[in-house]
Chain A
Amino acid sequence: MSEEGTIGRLRTFVLVALPVVVILAPLGYSLYDHVFARPSLEDGDALEDGDAAPFLEFPAERDAGCVRDTEYMRFHHWELLREVRDQAMRHGVRGEISLDRCRTCHQSRERFCNRCHEAVSLEPDCFGCHYYPASPTALTSDTAPAHGPGR
């Protein structure tokens, strides 16, 4: 085998392999990650500090009574809440969807709303006025009236 032939074959190999490695491999990994690795969040990602608790606390019976599917709620819940708010506030149309209804399943604001919102540095100011206890156990201390209601 001549030396020129070896170099020629090496060059062909490099020309074929380079695009595969540089372009297709990241693309493939991204595709794999997007399609297969994403559901692991739903199964409960462990927190970084080794906490065994899931990232978000899900209600016991998942999707049993939610007003929309999980994908919609994950990315568009704020649009839904805003629409519901305007309907109730401006037009007096009080439907079935409300923060009170969220609270029946997602009982802990601390372990449901706050986890994501803190992770992305978003601070919704709903709960300064709307009643949604940080956790069901904090119910008494969170809401104990400092003064009597009728004074």
Chain B
Amino acid sequence: MDRRAFLKTGGLFLVGTPCLGGLLVMSAPRTAAASGAGTRRWGMVIDLRRCPADCTACLDACRRENNVALHDDPRWDVHWIRKVTIARKHGKEERTRTVPLLCNHCDHPPCAQVCPVQATYKRADGIVIVDQHRCIGCRYCLIACPYNARFFNYKGGETWTNTGYPKRSHGVAESCHLCAHRLDEGRPPACVEACRARGTGALCVGDLDDPDSEIARLIADNSVKRLRDDLGTEPKVYYIGL
């Protein structure tokens, strides 16, 4: 072997070995992403055209499922999903509309940014969730949230309406977690289930990244709005007919 052939072969080996290693690593199956929160990106569509003003099926289902405390006092009541009536004037005519409000599960959640102990965080699948084990009750997230979707437990929950899910003690913040415990098991959130059972079907939760999903179709086919889109929080709750 002459000097030139030796250098060419040696150089090939020198470059080829790390490249081969990299290829092997890349081709290895990714087990971590396949389990748990996964690679989906959960979002919600609320079709206000199909949402009757006097219906509280989703609110009731949420309270039952997540043991959300109700103390019959607006100072302490906690609402993971609530309905507000908004009025808008078109000339002399005034139109009112009832809108369900809940945590918007922002892609850039201000609540998670201000949390000093990382109790509020965004899961890999985009759900913004509070780890009540870690929450110190500083209430920064209540102030940071532009949607007023966060509530503080001034009093603890008294009872379990659903024994399969914990209630919260006093002194922690909480908000809608899109029924993460149900989504992890492949079941729809309680509000969506109740809405479907009632026959209105105004709520839809699904994978925003999957172009074949029902939610992606709804967003593509309709004129959708997000709340306070100008803030740059990139909320993942879309409203049709707002």
Point out residues on A near B: beta carbons under 8 Å.
Answer: 85, 87-94, 100, 125, 128-131, 143-147, 149-151
**What are 18 A-B contacts with C-beta separation under 8 Å?**
A88-B184, A90-B131, A92-B38, A93-B37, A93-B184, A129-B157, A129-B169, A130-B166, A131-B164, A131-B166, A143-B160, A145-B161, A146-B158, A147-B159, A149-B63, A149-B64, A150-B63, A151-B63
**A146-B157 Cα distance, complex, nearest whole Å:** 11
Q: Mark out the residues of chain B between 87 and 126 whose CB falls within 8 Å of any chain A CB in the assembled complex.
A: 121, 123-125
**A39-B185 Cα distance, complex, nearest whole Å:** 41
B163 touches A131 (CB 8 A): yes
* Top-8 shortest CB links A-B: A150-B60, A92-B37, A93-B36, A129-B166, A92-B36, A131-B163, A149-B161, A149-B64
**A140-B218 Cα distance, complex, nearest whole Å:** 45
Which of B60, B121, B161, B167 interacts with A90 by CB under 8 Å? B121
Given contacts A90-B131, A92-B123, A151-B70, contact A131 B156 (CB under 8 A): no
**A141-B227 Cα distance, complex, nearest whole Å:** 44
Chain B residue nearest to A125 (CB atoms) is: B169
B200 in contact (CB, < 8 A)? no
B180 in contact (CB, < 8 A)? yes
Residue among A85, A87, A92 with max Cβ neighbours from chain B (10 Å): A92
B233 in contact (CB, < 8 A)? no
**A143-B164 Cα distance, complex, nearest whole Å:** 12
Given contacts A89-B133, A94-B181, A131-B160, contact A147 B70 (CB under 8 A): yes
Of the four ranges (under 10, 10 to 19, 20 to 34, 35 or more), the interface on chain B belongs to 20 to 34
Q: Mark out the residues of chain B between 48 and 74 whose CB falls within 8 Å of any chain A CB in the assembled complex.
A: 56, 60, 63-64, 70, 72
Q: Mark out the residues of chain B between 136 and 182 whose CB falls within 8 Å of any chain A CB in the assembled complex.
A: 156-161, 163-164, 166-169, 180-181
Instruction: Give the A-B contact count at a CB cut-off of 8 A.
Output: 68
Contacts of A145 on B, CB cut-off 8 Å? 159, 161
B27 in contact (CB, < 8 A)? no
**B156 → chain A, closest Cβ, in Å?**
7
Chain A residue nearest to B71 (CB atoms) is: A147
Chain A residue nearest to B35 (CB atoms) is: A93
B132 touches A129 (CB 8 A): yes
Contacts of A149 on B, CB cut-off 8 Å? 60, 63-64, 161
B131 touches A89 (CB 8 A): yes
Contacts of B133 on A, CB cut-off 8 Å? 85, 89
Contacts of A128 on B, CB cut-off 8 Å? 156, 169
**B196 → chain A, closest Cβ, in Å?**
17
**A139-B132 Cα distance, complex, nearest whole Å:** 25
Given contacts A91-B124, A94-B185, A129-B169, contact A100 B164 (CB under 8 A): yes
Given contacts A85-B133, A92-B37, A128-B156, contact A150 B169 (CB under 8 A): no
**A107 → chain B, closest Cβ, in Å?**
14
B159 touches A144 (CB 8 A): yes
Contacts of B70 on A, CB cut-off 8 Å? 147, 151
B184 touches A92 (CB 8 A): yes
Chain A residue nearest to B158 (CB atoms) is: A146
Chain A residue nearest to B130 (CB atoms) is: A89
